[in-house]
Amino acid sequence: MGIKCPCKGGQSFIDSNPPKQASNLPSNSYGILPSSTKVDEYKAKMPVPQKFCQEERDKQFARFAEYLKTLEIKIPFAEALEQIPSYAKFMKDILSHKKDWRETQIVLLTEECSAIIQNSLPKKLKDPRSFMIPCTIGDACTRTALCDLGASINLIPASLIKKLCLTEEVKPTRMCLQLADGFIKIPSGLIEDMIVRVRPFDFPIDFVVLDMEGHKSAFLILGRLFLVTGRTLIDVEQGEVTLRVNEKKFVLNAVKAMQHPDIPEECMSIDFIDSLVEEVNMAESSKDRLDDILNDTQPD
């Protein structure tokens, strides 16, 4: 049953039994909706919401910028970012965990540790071994000489003096030699002004004669007396010995010189060829006779 009520602009009937879905709406005792009630309009969802996420992030960044403007340490943070561009990079490194914002302790290193860390140490090289140079004494006596800055004398073996027939020129001396192992050796004597040729230079050298018969490969020792006479320069890295006389100089590679053996001084021969030939002939003849005897004893 409907109730007839006057309305502006005409008449209308309102059902006294409204539908259930409209029962939740506010109404008066007659079931009439008030004029101030608004019904929310339906909004359709966006098909691609990710497209509009950037706008939301921009809004969040704007709010974050406002917060930064109010953040103060000692100076306004926003002002520091504007005036010092490197601060922005530092902030980015802190947020990306590339740098630690906590205070770090400064440790002072010694010069040795700093050199190791900075890799400024020189490269470690191998031992170049002893500096041995070939020299010639007399006409054709070639020997290997050791250049020794630690020796105050020039040393020559007594066997070499005998071979050169210079025994009569050896002068007696009261010198005593103390070796590196502490033993005391008494030299045979002293020979002066012996000419030693280190191509292409000839040097007059004073030698101390020492009996070294127990050594299989006795060599000369050229000490500081020879090195200062030849104005010698030793390049340890390159393994080179430079001798200088007046304006001339001679460079000798001591490492390469040691790779080649000394020239043999003696050649020995054994005269056993004739006896060996006779023994072979006798053996061959005995074999031939035995074959003849065996052939004769065989039956026809």
Domain total in the chain: 2
The CATH number for 241's domain is 2.40.70.10
**Spatial separation of the C-alpha atoms in residues 196 and 203, rounded to whole Å:** 5
Mean pLDDT of the chain: 72
Tokens at residue 71, please?
């953040």
- 3-class secondary-structure state, position 295: helix
For residues 164 and 241, membership in a common domain is answered with yes
111, two tokens = 């010069």
Per the confidence metrics, is the pTM higher than 0.85? Answer: no
Q: Which of 180-184, 218-222, 266-270 has the lowest mean pLDDT?
A: 266-270
253 in the same domain as 140: yes
Range from 77-81, 192-196, 218-222, 264-268 carrying the lowest mean pLDDT = 264-268
For the ranges 71-80, 137-146, 151-160, 217-226, the one whose mean pLDDT is highest: 151-160
Q: What is the pLDDT of residue 13?
A: 44
| Same domain? 185 vs 231 | yes
What residues pair up with 210 in beta bridges, in sequence order? 157
Domain that holds residue 172: 132-259
Q: What residues contact residue 156 under an 8 Å CB cut-off, 6+ apart? A: 191, 194, 207, 208, 209, 210, 220
Claim to verify: residue 87 and residue 171 sit in the same structural domain: no
Indicate whether 238 belongs to any domain.
yes
In a domain, 109, yes or no: no
| Ranges 48-57, 157-166, 172-181, 198-207: which has the least confidence | 48-57
What pLDDT score does 158 carry? 86
- 230 found inside a domain: yes
Q: Are residues 151 and 229 in the same domain?
A: yes
**270 compared with 241, residue with greater pLDDT:** 241
The answer as to whether 237 is a domain residue is: yes
Q: Evaluate if residue 88 carries a pLDDT over 60.
A: yes
Q: Which strands sit side by side in the sheet containing 248-253, from one edge to the other? A: 233-235, 240-245, 248-253
Q: How do residues 93-103 score in pLDDT, each as one tens digit? A: 767 876 665 55
Last residue of a domain, one of 66, 95, 124: 95
Same domain, 76 and 164: no
Residue identified by tokens 């033993």 is: 183
DSSP state at residue 73: S
Angstrom distance (rounded) from CA 192 to CA 204: 8
Long-range contacts, stretch 30-33, CB < 8 angstroms, 24+ apart:
30/3, 30/5, 32/5
95, 120, 147 - which closes a domain: 95
**Of the segments 5-14, 66-75, 180-189, 206-215, which one has the largest average pLDDT value?**
180-189
pLDDT digits (tens, 9 = 90+) for 234-258: 888 888 889 999 889 888 887 676 6
Q: What angle do CA 220, 226, 232 make, to 5 degrees?
A: 115
- Is the predicted pLDDT of residue 9 greater than 50, yes or no? no
